[in-house]
Amino acid sequence: MLFNSIEFAIFLPIVFLLYWFVTNKNLKMQNALVVAASYVFYGWWDWRFLSLIVFSSFVDYTVGLGLAKTQEQNKRKALLVLSILVNLGFLGFFKYFNFFAESFADAFTLLGKEMAPARLNVILPVGISFYTFQTLSYSIDVYKRKMAPTRDILSFFAFVSFFPQLVAGPIERATNLLPQFYKKRTFDYAKAVDGMRQILWGLFKKVVIADNCALFANQIFNDSASVNGSTLVLGAVFFAFQIYGDFSGYSDIAIGTSRLFGFKLMKNFAFPYFSRDIAEFWRRWHISLNTWFRDYLYIPLGGSRGGLQMKIRNTFAIFLVSGFWHGANWTFLAWGAINAFFFLPLFVSGNNRNHLGIVAENSFLPTIRDAIKILLTFALTCFAWIFFRAENITQAIQIIQEIFSASLFELPDKYIGFKAARTLLLVAIFVGIEWLGRRNEYAIEKMFFSWKPFYRYAAYYAIVFAIIAFGGQEQQFIYFQF
């Protein structure tokens, strides 16, 4: 079920009314409703894959109980390994089997032996990369004794399947979200209004920015061999705003929807395109995934401890795994490696934590120095996005070769007309609003508060009008494929 669909527009009010007016006096009934609604939400896509969520939830719930019963380290390790094997086993089978089979066959071909790869005709379950990591965090944290295992199976199943963030995050930690299912929730009008405001902004990002940018990004990348360098640059820029509007828009809708039901999810994006270097960008982009890898991969590998060689190894490990998490394609590994190369000079020189605050925090505009840094960081990010968006490494290299050719100085040709110019104008307005709201949790959180009610609500209706009038052709959320 898509957030920007008629089905969800009907589904959400029904669940909301049942949650606050029918089950509100009984916590277990509320949690049971969350589980049922979440399974309907997920099963709307393909009910057969509900069995994966149920089985994964049952395994990790049982592992938690087992960890509570034993203090013997070997048994505790065995239980943790069971959780890891089940969750990563599902992920590996559905997402990576064909990739490894084809790569194995290609390796034999390079040795002069033809080999037909074994392929599985399987569908990648939506959101499997998200909910497997979420439930894994529970098993790992219980194993490390960072939290007590739960005996409330209903709360645990609700935590794993919570529908607002089930299929594309944020990837919640059990230490944050699970305890919220233990406590009685009371309706808070101010929080609900704030949630609706964030949903509205998320829909604007998705429908007006991402879906319009997708039209031109797809056209340009699909026809990359016949367009000039300047057009390809615009294609990379369109894709940069497509993926940001799409993914951060989803996160805004998920966080806002959760607030309607009395839950607080972690922030997933913090205006990343205003970053002044790549290190700052990665602190602000897909925060829930990057902190997951930091806590459950980077630090266990040794983190920043040890010598330079270990630091470089651990840095590459986290970026490569992050790239591979996104998909079974060499382009994602290349994207991760490129970002590691961008990040390493800052890390090795000790400059990776230079920009921890908000850019131009006490002024309206950035300094010229900061503006140049922002533009340079955005250019590096767009360069890496080329590999992320390309169908294969060959296409990515051909695109980059054309960009760094004389055709870069030609006027954009194909696909760049009135509609493309209108989309760039919408992007410019969007960037301006994001800049004005960069100190908040999301851009319009406190915007318009100083205005009189008539003008404030006129601004909200203007956003609604923009969604209706300028909404692009409906596109599936990019991160559903991961």
User: What are the pLDDT digits (tens) for 16-69?
Assistant: 999 999 999 999 999 999 999 999 999 988 888 899 999 999 999 999 999 999
What pLDDT digit, counting tens, does each position of 193-232 carry?
Answer: 999 999 999 999 999 999 999 999 999 999 999 999 999 9
Average pLDDT over residues 177-186: 95
The Cα-based distances of 408 to 17, 230, 378, 413, 436 in angstroms read 55, 4, 18, 11, 32
Q: For residue 180, what are its two tokens?
A: 């919220």
Please answer whether residues 160 and 152 qualify as being in contact, where contact means their C-beta atoms are separated by less than 8 angstroms.
Answer: no
Please answer whether residues 233 and 197 qualify as being in contact, where contact means their C-beta atoms are separated by less than 8 angstroms.
Answer: no
Q: What is the pLDDT of residue 48?
A: 84
Residues catalogued as catalytic: 326
Which residues contact residue 31 at a Cβ distance below 8 angstroms, ignoring those fewer than 6 apart?
154, 155, 158, 181
pLDDT confidence tier of residue 306, bands split at 50, 70 and 90? confident
Average pLDDT over residues 422-434: 96
What pLDDT digit, counting tens, does each position of 468-479 carry?
Answer: 999 877 777 777
Please answer whether residues 413 and 364 qualify as being in contact, where contact means their C-beta atoms are separated by less than 8 angstroms.
Answer: no
pLDDT at 105 over 60: no
What pLDDT digit, counting tens, does each position of 461-470 carry?
Answer: 999 999 999 9
Average pLDDT over residues 409-416: 87
Share of the chain above pLDDT 70, in %: 94
Average pLDDT over residues 139-158: 95
Q: What is the pLDDT of residue 118?
A: 58
Average pLDDT over residues 235-263: 96
Residue-wise DSSP of 236-300: HHHHHHHHHHHHHHHHHHHHHHHHHTT--PPP----GGG-SSHHHHHHHSSHHHHHHHIIIIITT
What pLDDT digit, counting tens, does each position of 54-95 carry?
Answer: 999 999 999 999 999 988 999 999 999 999 999 999 888 888
Average pLDDT over residues 406-434: 93
Please answer whether residues 416 and 231 qualify as being in contact, where contact means their C-beta atoms are separated by less than 8 angstroms.
Answer: yes
Cis peptide before 170 (omega within 30 of 0): yes
3-state secondary structure of 351: coil
Reference 438, options 275, 233, 245, 282; nearest CA is 275
CA distance 21 to 255: 22
